[in-house]
Structure 1
Amino acid sequence: MKPAVIGTVAVLLLAVAYVIFSPYLSQGLSHKPQSPNADSADHGSEPFVTLKVIMPGDQSARMADFVENELNDRLRKDLNMNLELTYIPWSNYQQKLELALSTGEDYDLFWYGASFVSVYSTKGYIQPLDRLLNAYGKDLIKHIPDENFKQNRIGGKLWAIPSQAFTSAGKFSSVMVRQDLLEKVGMTTIKTTKDLEQFYERMHAIDPSYYGYLETDRGHELLWRELTDRNYSSLDERMLFMVDEDSGEIVSYVESDVYKKVAKLRESWVNKGIIDKNLVGNPAAKIDQENAGKLLFRVGAVSRAMENLQAARNADPNARLREYYLAEDKPKYITNPSNEAFMITSASNNPERAMMFMNWILQSKENYNFIIYGVEGKDYELANGKIKQLTNDQLMYEWMWRNKDYFTAPASVEDDIIDDMLANDENSRMSKLSGFHFNEAPVKNEIAQVMAVYKEKFEPINFGLASYDQYYEDALASLKKAGFDIVFDELKKQFAEFQLQH
């Protein structure tokens, strides 16, 4: 056979073989299909994206530098993405966040407290996460208890990632005090509201630039512990309703005797100067005073003494903080096992990558420490098994991510504070409200009207600025006229249905 003919036959045989065997060859030669839970290095096959995240507070200089350089370098390598953070000051976080969500801006991910999950899912601002979690969240599932996820399930769907998995009983029902100043005036502990008053009076006599101040937008549950022998938990931050943990009934807080006691106590504190009129209803001013080291006490949050210590010491190197419960023998309740919630917006262009990013944080202790504390040797170091921060600049908020599997105590915090925090959930009880979400859709118009009246007429009473005796009856009549009883009836109906299912 001539060489030309042999060559032609060979080419034809190769072509036939390629047609026959190409499916098998391509399977062996091509990249493997992307596994949703593959190691982070495999995510290089994903298209490069910029993940747009909203966070509360003010971005520090080091945080901006860290995100732009070390963090985004790591995220490009591990997830083929970078992070674009938009910070909104605490003082108007809710207002500006909701504006962005309601106008459909293309942010991917944001943080807020767990009580807002139901509200935002009802308004259509966020998307369900079951598919994304199952596909891309194996490390979230591994390191966050199932009961934490349950609290964010509404209508059988998951709507938020409960990023914190730590102690949570009695959250926002303790008081955090400047322990160093408490001891300076000859006191050692706080057990009653009278103790708080005495602390303020003694310190104010030494230096009147210090403020007492106990938040009036929170703190009602703190005072309930002393002002009633019942055990109550608040439905949400709007302070309209509560559950009686002893009877299991939903109660109208604004119509209760304990509301009257709280209002009158706060009114007396305004008159004594313990609650300063210039701080009431002005979160920005309160934060400024706390950062200046001038607040003697505020509402605690299980671990706030640890979280706020660095800020306090920036103002006063000798500052020490500690949290106390009034009526310390009363039980503490867990309403939300995780008060922190990250939600993926309905307008997100990158929901898969948002879930991958959240999972990446808990993928290893190295990632966890990196995003919270920065670069080891530059931003922090390990000293005797504790975290010693080398910069005063805030990076990511540690409390948003605090996880029992990865937690390392800060070197600057005294051991007794850490011991208090780690033992906080001992002998605690699950709240009757745990897992319950009020679907506001059937009464959304009435709620809008009720909240408008509440803000106008009840908040001044809450703050202690308006006399309960003088203004309460008119405020309640206006609330009823706005549709309060309709909202209350719908709430009781839904809660009864919830109780039957649990």
Structure 2
Amino acid sequence: MRNYTRLAAIVPLLSAMIVAAGCSSSDPKDADAKGTSASPSSASASEGGASTQEALEPVKLKYYFFGAAKPGDAAVYDEINKRLKEKINTTIEFVKVPNGDYTQKMSVMVNAQEAFDLAFTSPNYLDYFSNAAKGSFVDLTELLPQYAPKTYAELKPEIWNAAKVNGKIYAAINQQIFARQSGLSLSKPLVDKYGFDVSGVKKLSDLLPFLEKVKAGEPVEQTDQLYNAQMKNQVFSYFFPYYEWETIGGTDVPGVADSTEEHPTVFNEYDTPEFKDFVMTMSEYQRKGYIAKDALTRPTFDPAKYAANSIATLMPGIEETLKTTYKADQVIIPLGDPILTSPNAIATMTAVSSTSKHPERALMVIEAFNTDKDLYNLMVWGREGVDYKKVGDNRVESLPGATYGPAYGWMFGNQFNAYVSGSQPDDVWAQTKALNESAKVSTLFGFNFNPDNVKAESANCAAIVNEYKAAFNTGMYGSDTEKKYNEFLAKLKTAGVDKLIAEKQKQVDAFIAAK
């Protein structure tokens, strides 16, 4: 049964990673006479070299992902394209979409069947499950071993099983931290200044005394956005590993299950004490001025002003990433223990659009980013001598005045190829692999929900979740918060949440019985 009072174990060495994505209209002149970009015999050409150039017709792809545009983007992408041109006679138009706008923008493009080639996807961004089920992505089950053989061979079959929808694989998994652990991070200078004891922090409301001291003690111009509300993200789901809950069929679609029970029960995560506490805490944060008053309309936020953040994923050595993001050392507060679930194993993926004219070549690009360490680090770190310098065989430092990156390494391929930096230990990726291997494995690992029988209910409930999500995340309902919460639950009922949960339970039961 669910344990609403489960305490967090503080685990040293583990820290948080914000998790926490391409449309391509291939130029007709780039297509070969047969209408395909490569033949099976040329798949090995992904190894690169002059033979590849001769074997493959020139192709231009378009690749969408999320991130903030940087002045140095164009120069880095030009260098990447030079290497891809030599390697597999391919060039790419890279398109960044702002983080909070990514799913909405890409969903519109997908639904309009706009042509594109590569896109970032996950259960949280450009919902992998629903888009795979409705045919928006190419079935890669046979294509991956053929055109991205090393990428495919790098992961165990059990991990690939986590990506299957109706028995098929519809995106390449980006290798990174698969085990998930919830957490919080606080500005270390502020924790030290106000003598805040983090040992008693088990939930967001436990941060209230800390934020109160910072609000009272710091200049007013520095305290207008003390908590990072991440308004467009599914922030509540960040805590699922802590509760040992598991997403089933997409993060915005109600219905989660207990990950470690012998016979998992599916329930509406929004109709729980945990979610109500989250909503009411955010309302209090807003009332006391810890969340920006104009959070729903402010175009930009200053990361250096955040005193506290909710973290979706903890991993070894990630303190350096947080320091770079928030411009200050962070105190990490792990919650619960690491757990391996199917949604977390596929938290970062690269899909090929069903509208792509060159799916084989798109897979060869995926293979290149997963297997070519220099190419991968060019995408993550930028140009050596311009954006970073090497200070060891596998260690780098960003250069003053760098105009690119570091980009999200988990978004583009095998993160275990990434250079390390700052306080990251030299063996950070060995530690990460070990954590993946040692994490508690969910009872439901390998289970994937088939939404065919409840497509309308899934879509209607997800729409209601997204109607309320940003305001709940930012506490914008004020004194009406509890009323709005009850209204939200009632709308989910009307939209068919009970039928949706019953279907999920039926499939979970069948999966457990088959095991």
Q: Is the 8 A contact 2:166 2:450 kept in 1?
A: no
1:250 aligned partner, one-letter code: V
Tell me, yes or no, if structure 1 residue 98 matches structure 2 residue 107.
yes
Unaligned runs of 5+ in 1: 1-31, 314-318
Larger Rg: 1
Deviation at 1:159, TM superposition (A): 0.5
Aligned to 2:76: 66
Offset from partner CA, 1:320-379 (integer Å, 9 cap, x none)? 1343223x5x56454422411100000101111111111012223233323322333333
In the aligned structure 2, how far is the partner of 1:176 from the partner of 1:402?
26
Tell me, yes or no, if structure 1 residue 131 matches structure 2 residue 145.
no
After superposition, residues 44-63 of structure 1 pair within 5 angstroms as: 44=53, 45-63=55-73
In the aligned structure 2, how far is the partner of 1:33 from the partner of 1:258?
52
In the aligned structure 2, how far is the partner of 1:240 from the partner of 1:130?
28
Q: 2:43 aligns with which of 17, 22, 36?
A: 36
Q: 1:261 aligns with which of 277, 284, 292?
A: 277
Aligned to 1:397: 408
Aligned to 1:448: 459
After superposition, residues 36-185 of structure 1 pair within 5 angstroms as: 36-38=43-45, 39-41=47-49, 42-44=51-53, 45-68=55-78, 70-115=79-124, 116-163=127-174, 165-171=175-181, 173-185=182-194
Offset from partner CA, 1:418-442 (integer Å, 9 cap, x none)? 6997475585212234333322232
Identity score, percent: 23
Q: 2:500 aligns with which of 465, 469, 487?
A: 487
Tell me, yes or no, if structure 1 residue 377 matches structure 2 residue 389.
no
1:476 aligned partner, one-letter code: L
Deviation at 1:158, TM superposition (A): 0.9
Offset from partner CA, 1:8-58 (integer Å, 9 cap, x none)? xxxxxxxxxxxxxxxxxxxxxxxx994422431232121001011112123
SS across alignment from 2:144: helix
TM-score norm. by structure 2 comes to 0.78
In the aligned structure 2, how far is the partner of 1:169 from the partner of 1:143?
17
Q: Is the 8 A contact 1:54 1:110 kept in 2?
A: yes
Q: Is the 8 A contact 1:263 1:461 kept in 2?
A: yes
In the aligned structure 1, how far is the partner of 2:483 from the partner of 2:94?
47
Q: Is the 8 A contact 2:180 2:314 kept in 1?
A: yes
Q: Is the 8 A contact 1:114 1:152 kept in 2?
A: no
In the aligned structure 2, how far is the partner of 1:94 from the partner of 1:450?
17
In the aligned structure 2, how far is the partner of 1:150 from the partner of 1:224?
21
In the aligned structure 2, how far is the partner of 1:78 from the partner of 1:129?
22
Classify 1:242/1:176 alpha carbon distance in 2 versus 1 (closer, same or farther; 3 Å): same
Offset from partner CA, 1:42-87 (integer Å, 9 cap, x none)? 321210010111121233221211212x211111111111111122
Q: Is the 8 A contact 1:334 1:434 kept in 2?
A: yes
TM-score norm. by structure 1 comes to 0.80
Q: 1:289 aligns with which of 295, 298, 301?
A: 301
Unaligned runs of 5+ in 2: 1-38
In the aligned structure 2, how far is the partner of 1:456 from the partner of 1:237?
14
Classify 1:427/1:137 alpha carbon distance in 2 versus 1 (closer, same or farther; 3 Å): closer
Superposition RMSD in Å: 3.1
Classify 1:214/1:223 alpha carbon distance in 2 versus 1 (closer, same or farther; 3 Å): farther
In the aligned structure 2, how far is the partner of 1:186 from the partner of 1:443?
51
1:312 aligned partner, one-letter code: Y
Tell me, yes or no, if structure 1 residue 244 matches structure 2 residue 258.
yes
Q: Is the 8 A contact 2:314 2:334 kept in 1?
A: no
Deviation at 1:126, TM superposition (A): 0.8
2:272 aligned partner, one-letter code: S
- Give the number of equivalent residue pairs: 452
